[in-house]
Amino acid sequence: MLIYDTGDSHQPCTPFVKNTSAIFGFSQGCLPLDRWDELNAFFQKSGAKIIFGLNALNGRVPMPDGSLGGPWNYTNAASFIRYTVNKGYDIHGWELGNELSGSGVGARIDADQYAADVITLKHIIDSTYQSNPTKPLVLAPGGFFDAAWFTELVSKTKPSQMDVITHHIYNLGPGVDDHLIEKILDPSYLDGEASIFSNLQGILKFAGTSTVAWVGEAGGAYNSGHHLVTDAFVFSFWYLDQLGMSSKYDTKSYCRQTLVGGNYGLLNTTTFEPNPDYYSALLWHRLMGTKVLSTTFNGTNKIRAYAHCARKSEGITLLLINLSGNDTNHIYVTSEGAQTQSARKESRRFGHIPGLGEAAELTREEYHLTPKDGNLQSQRVLLNGNVLVTDANGDIPKLEPVQVEGTQPITVGPYSIVFAHIPSFYAPACR
């Protein structure tokens, strides 16, 4: 359990120490305010948006059913928030708790009590940030999805006490599992997570709330992942599929575990050189806009296909993931159902791409990602055949596309990922 050294706890500020008899195997620990100052200096330099997870266990008492009950003792958290505001630190959101939803991880709290505590946090933020032009987001519960528990939390905080409902994803199981690569390459296994995204989307729609869904933490395989799997090329299949799937079900943000740390970091923990997923995330961020298009792929189930309006440019961007190590696919793009009937009659067909008109003669930009030496467990990724490495100053290389003639199919090689930006593609949603 973490306390903040704001002077109200009247006890020495000591770090965590191992204690096997305590919950989670550690003693109580303390965050010194000078450390918080250092962190905020770093946040400011990096330009990052910061979500801070508050300790939600203060004041809890064990209940007969094994859960923890009683209202959240918020005094220490409230003084920590006050200190943060007085220092002028910019916090994007305050999240209550970590993995206490449903059956919890090591500890759990009933949804009814949690909802009351979220409302308390909302009051604290409203009053502390009273004179500020903008208020940080209120987020909860930062835990694993449990339909009944999440439904109750949403219904008791609606319509606007909780800005964001956050859930965690480690759907590949423990990092020590030797079958992680098989799971990542299995389309039906990947599809399993869709039910959670869909379920949560349904809960929010039905409740009539302003709360939106985020993935608050996702490392794929828990307990720090698996070296040469979750920090290698093969993990981009899982990661980009997650980004595509979560977007499809109206997830507004996706927080990856981790930037650096464990075997699932976006950066190498010793050299800080980007792992393949860093480049996957960067291409996603630059190319995929926030409007998601309904996308179907007819053919092998080994191709995963997602399409968004292009980011900051015309047309659409397609993401194609080939989970097959044997097959090269030649993919044609059509806009069936994307236009009104009259507009479709007028459009002339070019190649196999209806709805593009004369613009199909234009080129598109393609970004093909493949593993170095064809090794799925490589920590080096090739973009259009060129290895991506930082320069002597540590700067990210230019991510240059290849130009392809518009009437040609998109060629997706074995075990590869393709982003295709098609500026001439007409999708009414992208206007």
Q: Per-residue pLDDT tens for 348-374? A: 333 445 455 555 568 999 999 999 999
Helix (H, G, I), strand (E, B), or coil: what is residue 374?
Answer: helix
Tally DSSP H helices, then E strands, for the chain: 10, 22
Q: At what angle do helices 111-128 and 75-86 cross, to 10 degrees?
A: 30
Instruction: Please say if 182 is a catalytic residue.
Output: no
The packing angle between helices 235-248 and 276-287, to 10°, is 30
**Region 297-306: what's the mean pLDDT?**
96
Q: What pLDDT sits at residue 348?
A: 32
Sorting pLDDT into bands at 50, 70 and 90, what band is 345?
A: very low
Section 165-172 average pLDDT: 98
Are 75 and 59 a contacting pair, CB within 8 Å? no
Structure tokens given for 46: 């990096």
The predicted pLDDT at position 23 comes to 78
Structure tokens at 28: 């109580």
Catalytic option among 95, 193, 217, 365: 217
State how far the Cα of 109 lies from the Cα of 103, in Å rounded to an integer. 8
Instruction: Please confirm, yes or no, whether 336 is among the known catalytic residues.
Output: no
- The model's confidence at residue 343, banded by pLDDT at 50, 70 and 90, is very low
Res 24: pLDDT? 80
Closest residue by Cα to residue 314 from 287, 341, 284: 287
Look at residues 142, 92, 134, 135 and name the one whose alpha carbon lies nearest to residue 118. 142
Given 99, 152, 273, 314, which residue is catalytic?
A: 99
